[in-house]
Amino acid sequence: MAFPLPDPMRRALALAREAAVAGEVPVGAVIVRDGEVVAEARNDMRSGNDPSAHAEMLAIRRAAEHLGAGGRLDSCDLWVTLEPCAMCAGAIALARIRRLYFGAPDPKGGAVIHGPRLFSQPTCHHRPEIYGGLGESESAVLLRRFFTDRRE
């Protein structure tokens, strides 16, 4: 019997589905503090002509704007459907996110458990607690379907 997915990851997956409908690579992210959602976002690179508009980046910027406090998100947890890339992992460290929960691993673009493994670098100044694999299969199905549909 599978455990039910935590609410923030279910919401992140819903946001990823919204991204796919909009023609964006399906990735969604949610930032939670004290059990409350403080920001959420989906990929928005295409429509915004912004290569940095990954779900995690947008969620971090929105949370920091919402919470103020110099942009530090020390008491915040980030839930995202795909392993963050180097840009997003760098932003997670800069924002001092407390915990990172991610869904599917990303062997090509991931920078947490793949590639540069940013949080394991000696110069990394902040390492969140990291939990991978929550909602992995749901996220992977969304991504696979998106790229298959586009090749047809």
- Annotation-wise, does 66 bind a ligand? no
Active site residues: 56
Q: Report in angstroms how near the CB of residue 96 gets to its own copies at its nearest.
A: 8
Read off the tokens for 95: 């924002």
* H-assigned helices in 6-98: 7-21, 55-67, 86-95
Residues that bind its own copies (CB under 8 A): 45-46, 48-53, 57, 60-61, 64-65, 67-73, 85-91, 93-96, 107-111, 114-118, 121-125
SS3 39: strand
The answer to whether residues 56 and 79 touch, using CB atoms and an 8 Å cutoff, is no
Q: Report in angstroms how near the CB of residue 22 gets to its own copies at its nearest.
A: 14
Instruction: State the residue for tokens 């990303």.
Output: 106
Q: Report in angstroms how near the CB of residue 119 gets to its own copies at its nearest.
A: 10
Annotated binding site for Zn(2+): 54, 85, 88
